[in-house]
Amino acid sequence: MKIHTTQNLNSLGRMQSTNTANIPNEEIRLNYSEQMRKLKSSSLNDTYESHVSFKGKKEFLKAAQAAAEKIKNTAGKEKKNYDKFLTSGVFDKMLDLMSHEVFVQAAISAVICCLLRPVTIMALPAKDKDNNKYASAHSISSGFVGVISSLLISVPFSKGVKYAQKNLLHKLKEEHIKKMFPQVDIKSIANADGTRKPIGEWLDKFGNKFAADTKDVMMAAKPRPIQVVSESTLKELGADVDLKAMAGKPVSEWVTRDGKKLNFRPQDMFVQIKEEGMGTNYFSLGLADKNFLAETFEKLDINTIEKEGKRINPLEWKNKDGSQFMPDLLDNVFVSSWKETFEATPLYSGLKRTETRGKKETKYCAYQKNTKDYDAKKVPDKLGTKISQEMLDADDTNTVLYKLLGWLPDIVTRPVVAASTIALIPFVLKRVFHLEKKKKPEQVIAEQNNQVNTAKDKDEAVRKAAA
C-alpha cells in the first residue's frame, strides 16, 4: 500500500517550530513547560506541576501498515506456558501474602532449609561426613525456627501495618497526610465539625475522588492497527464493517455495512508518536494534550479539534490552511481492545515528569483510575489525576515506611532467633541424624576414672561384706 505523507516530518522539532497558534505573543519565547506551569500555577499547589515539560523532537509515525504486517507474521506467538500460572489463584494468593514479607521469606526458607538443602548437602562428598550432617542439622533448625519465629513475631506486626494502611490512615496527623499523599485536597478530609471523613469521601486537588494508588494506573489494551483487528472488535468500537468486502482497500476508503464512513470515538483512535529521548508510544487522539498535538502535527489548526470543550472526531479536524487534517489518517490509526491482546499500555497525554532520584530520567505521566465513570473495559472519556513526580516520590517513601514497620520486629529479634537456631542444632543432630555430641577427651578420662573407682569401691564393699 502506498503511504501518503501529508506532514513534513523534518520540520517538527520544537526549535524549528513556527507554530504559534493559540499562544499569546508574550509566551512565544517560553517553552511549553513554562506555559503549562504559568497556566496551572494559579489553581494548583506550588510545586505540583513543576516537573511537567515539553521537549524533544516529536514525529508522527505512519506505522500502522508495517505494524499490521509484523503482527500477521508473529500471530499466535503471544501465548506463553506460564500465563496459566500467572493468572492462577495460587499466584494471586502468593501476592496477597506479600503483605507479610517476613513470613513469605521464612516460608520459602523453610522449604529450602528443611528439604532441599539438607538433601543436597548430604549428597555432597566429604572426608568427614559429620561436617555435612552438622551443616544439614543447622539448615533444618534454621528453617524451622525461622518460620515459627516469623509466625509468632513478625506476622502480628505486619497484620497491624496492613490494618493501619486500610483502616487508620484517615486518623493520621494532617501534616503526615499531606506528606504521604501530596495530591489530597486537605479541605476535603474533614467535616465542618472537624471530624475526619472516611478515605472514600476524600477528594484530590483536581476534584477527582482521592486515590492513594499510583501503581495501578489507567491502562488500555495495546493498540493494534485497524487493518488487523476482527470484525467484532470494530463493531464494538462502533464500526460495523464487512472485512471481506473491504479486502485490498485502504482503511480510509472503508465503509460500514450501511455505506457510511468509519466513525470512531476520538478516544479510541490511537497514533504512534516517536519523541526524541522518549521512544515510541501510543497516544489517543481524544486524550492527548492539545499542546502536545500542536507540537507533533505542525500543520494542524489546534482550534479546530474541540467544540464546546469536547474533542471532536479527528476526521473533522482542519489544517491551518483550512484543508482536512490528514485525509489518510485512518490508514495510520490504531485501536485498542482487550479482545485483541492482553498486552497493556498506560494512557499518556504527552505531559512529562522528571525523576528526582536515580538516573533522573524524563518520562510520560500516567493517570490514576479515579474518574467518576471509569470503566476498565474501554478507553475512558477522560483521564484521571495526573501522577506527578511528587506523588511518586511520596509513594516510594510510603512503601519504605510500611516495609520498615513490617521488617523492624524481625530485624530486632534476629539475634535471638539465630541463637535459638543454634540451640536447636544438637536436638536435630540427635533426632534426625542420630548423631550424639562427642565428648571431650578430659571428660572421657574423668568418666573412665569414675568407672574404675566405682568398680574398686564395689570390690571393696564385696570384700568387706564377705569378711
Closest CB to another protein among residues 206, 402: 402
Among left, alpha and beta (phi > 0; psi -120 to 50; other), residue 219 is beta
68 grid coordinates:
499490521
Number of residues that bind another protein (CB under 8 A): 111
Closest CB to another protein among residues 326, 387: 387
Q: By CB under 8 A, tell whether 456 contacts another protein.
A: no
Q: By CB under 8 A, tell whether 135 contacts another protein.
A: yes
Give the Cα separation of 347 and 218 in Å (integer). 6
Amino acid identity, residue 46? D
Of all helices (H) and strands (E), which one includes residue 95? helix 89-97
Q: By CB under 8 A, tell whether 156 contacts another protein.
A: yes
Q: Which of residues 265-324 bind another protein (CB under 8 A)?
A: none
Query: Minimal CA–CA distance to 165: which of 5, 398, 336?
Result: 398
Which x/- pattern, by CB under 8 A, does the window 179-218 give for another protein?
A: xx-----------------xxx------------xxxx--
Closest CB to another protein among residues 147, 287: 147
104 grid coordinates:
513469605
Q: By CB under 8 A, tell whether 342 contacts another protein.
A: yes
- Nearest approach, Cβ of 192 to another protein (angstroms)? 22
Q: Which of residues 370-409 bind another protein (CB under 8 A)?
A: 376-377, 393, 396-401, 403-405, 407
- Nearest approach, Cβ of 345 to another protein (angstroms)? 9
DSSP assignments along 380-420, one per residue: -SS---B--HHHHHHHHHHHHHHHHHHHHHHHHHHHHHHHH
Report the Cα 137 to chain-centroid distance in Å.
41
Q: By CB under 8 A, tell whether 446 contacts another protein.
A: no
166 grid coordinates:
486500610
Closest CB to another protein among residues 72, 456: 72
- Nearest approach, Cβ of 141 to another protein (angstroms)? 11
Q: Which residues contact 402 (CB under 8 A, 6 or more apart)?
A: 161, 165
Q: Please give the DSSP secondary-structure letter assigned to residue 358.
A: T
Of 15, 75, 90, 466, which one interacts with another protein (CB under 8 A)?
75
304 near 66, Cβ under 8 Å?
Answer: no
Q: By CB under 8 A, tell whether 47 contacts another protein.
A: no
Q: By CB under 8 A, tell whether 159 contacts another protein.
A: yes
Query: Minimal CA–CA distance to 182: which of 346, 366, 351, 386?
Result: 386
- Nearest approach, Cβ of 162 to another protein (angstroms)? 6
Report the Cα 344 to chain-centroid distance in Å.
12
Closest CB to another protein among residues 149, 291: 149
Q: Which of residues 231-250 bind another protein (CB under 8 A)?
A: 231-233, 236, 242-244
Q: Which of residues 113-132 bind another protein (CB under 8 A)?
A: 113, 116-117, 120-121, 124-128, 130-132
Of 12, 36, 161, 271, which one interacts with another protein (CB under 8 A)?
161
Give the Cα separation of 262 and 363 in Å (integer). 34
Closest CB to another protein among residues 39, 122: 122
Closest CB to another protein among residues 34, 231: 231
Let me know the angle formed at the C-alpha of 368 by 366 and 373, rounded to the nearest 5 degrees. 125
Closest CB to another protein among residues 113, 302: 113
What is the end-to-end Cα distance of the chain in Å, rounded? Answer: 127
- Nearest approach, Cβ of 163 to another protein (angstroms)? 3
